[in-house]
Amino acid sequence: MHLIAFVNQKGGVGKTTACRTLSQMLEKNGKRVLVIDLDPQQTLSLSVKATANRFDYETPSIYSVLVENLQIKNAIQTLDTGYDIIRSDNRLYSYNGEGILKMDEVMPFKDDPQGMYNYIMNKANRLADPSTDDKHKLRREIETIAEYYDFIICDTNPDLGWTLTSVLMSAPIVNLIVPVFAEDSSREAIIALDRSIKTIMAHDLSQKINILGVLLTKYENNNLSKHYYKALNNTAQTIGTSLFNTVISKSVAIPEAMAFKNDLFDGRGGIVLSQYESFYKEFIERIEKQ
């Protein structure tokens, strides 16, 4: 199983669109695919109707798995998308893992300092141990279903916080795709992501996090875009990756496809569909080189 995650702490750069399109292309090519939506905005879950509405707290979600201890296999939905999906939940916005202590946990020990000490130490040990901590929970759960899929693909929230950290540690090797716009702030986004990756790998030398490539989206055929292709490719190379050769043009076909809840394969994708097809080929080449 290959674990793929679409990441960029900026929103609106095309993560969800690329995640949905790649998942669909993999599925059409006979791969067994599971998509996990970890963005509390639920864009992907809503667009494929895995979430009934933004305030759906009933349908099992990745929140049920991470916070309410539902087994991950019970959160999987099989829809007419062809790929399986685990939906997101807007309560993920405020979830940052279990805190070290809450007042009501320690109150029972107010006359028992030794008991309190033991309780705190037990909890600290549990939260520090990768076989029981919260940050590796996604990984522990994914391990239980990994054999059923060729690809597990995570769509993430625009943030470098707790959820993203969990995703970056969700398999022994995590492959990232970073969609970006042709603009200066994208350079900053690539460098900040690299810093997060290095911090995690410094804490756990066995964790591999690989940026498969940076995907330029909403590309316009002008000199500024061309300049940024080169500049961003230089930045990507300084952190050991590169831009995909394929760029995705800015096209109204995409918001239309998303809005009408169709896909890019219904014959209306035009140039963008063929660009995504060539991105797909590059993706397969890069993943096979792993």
Residues that bind Mg ion in the complex, under the rule CB under 5 A: 15-16, 43
Residue among 193, 214, 254, 264 that touches ligand ADP (CB under 6 A):
254
248 lines the binding site for ligand ADP (CB under 6 A): yes
Whole-angstrom Cα distance, residue 165 to residue 135?
A: 7
Residue among 27, 62, 251, 280 that touches ligand ADP (CB under 6 A):
251
Closest CA to 254 of 273, 240, 238: 273
Q: Where do we find the tokens 């893992």?
A: 97
Stretch that binds ligand ADP, among 76-84, 138-146, 201-209, 249-257 (CB under 6 A): 249-257
286: left (phi over 0), alpha (psi -120 to 50) or beta: alpha
Quick one: the chain helix, strand, coil %, rounded to 5? 45, 15, 40
Residues 28, 265 contacting (CB under 8 angstroms): yes
Residue among 127, 146, 258, 284 that touches ligand ADP (CB under 6 A):
258
- The SS3 assignment for 241 reads coil
270 lines the binding site for ligand ADP (CB under 6 A): no
Which residue lies nearest Mg ion, judged by its C-beta?
16
Q: What secondary structure does DSSP assign to 249-280, as a single string?
A: B--THHHHHHHTT--TTTTT-HHHHHHHHHHH
In angstroms, give the least distance from the CB of 157 to ligand ADP. 9
255 lines the binding site for ligand ADP (CB under 6 A): yes
Residue among 187, 250, 268, 286 that touches ligand ADP (CB under 6 A):
250
In angstroms, give the least distance from the CB of 246 to ligand ADP. 12
Of residues 15-54, those binding ligand ADP (CB under 6 A): 15-17, 43
In angstroms, give the least distance from the CB of 217 to ligand ADP. 5
In angstroms, give the least distance from the CB of 259 to Mg ion. 15
Residues 158, 10 contacting (CB under 8 angstroms): yes
